[in-house]
């Protein structure tokens, strides 16, 4: 694990994360995020987490940091991103209707 990264998981958080992993109806992205955090909390190194989850180091680090900042709920939502293209202006829309 990187120096300075300590993932502390409370008993309640560990129970929630284990439930996510065990639930066969959980989205797979939530399952591997929860596994990353559980393995990190158990003191497993980044390279071992990579081997067990198949995810890269930046991905592992991203979810460790997100968990430390936002807890379990942070693992279950996606970060919002700006739209790829700006919306059409009213002038452009009006020009098409003529």
- In the numeric block, the tokens 């003529």 are attached to 98
* Terminal Cα-to-Cα distance of the chain (whole angstroms): 62
Mean pLDDT of the chain: 88
Instruction: Identify the residue with better confidence: 92 or 55.
Output: 55
pTM above 0.75, yes or no: yes
φ and ψ of 33, to 5 deg: -65, -45
Q: What is the pLDDT averaged over residues 44-58?
A: 94
16-27 confidence digits (pLDDT tens): 999 999 999 999
C-beta separation of 36 from 58 below 8 A? no
Instruction: Identify the residue with better confidence: 5 or 60.
Output: 60
pLDDT of 41 strictly over 70:
yes
């Amino acid at each position: 694990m990187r120096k300075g990264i300590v993932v502390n998981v409370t008993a309640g958080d560990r129970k929630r994360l284990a439930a996510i992993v065990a639930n066969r109806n959980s989205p797979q992205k939530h399952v591997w995020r929860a596994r990353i955090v559980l393995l990190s909390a158990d003191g497993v190194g980044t390279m071992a987490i990579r081997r067990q989850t198949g995810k890269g180091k930046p991905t592992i680090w991203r979810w460790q940091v997100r968990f430390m900042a936002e807890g379990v709920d942070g693992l279950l939502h996606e970060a919002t991103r700006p739209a790829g293209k700006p919306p059409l202006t009213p002038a452009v829309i009006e020009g098409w209707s003529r």
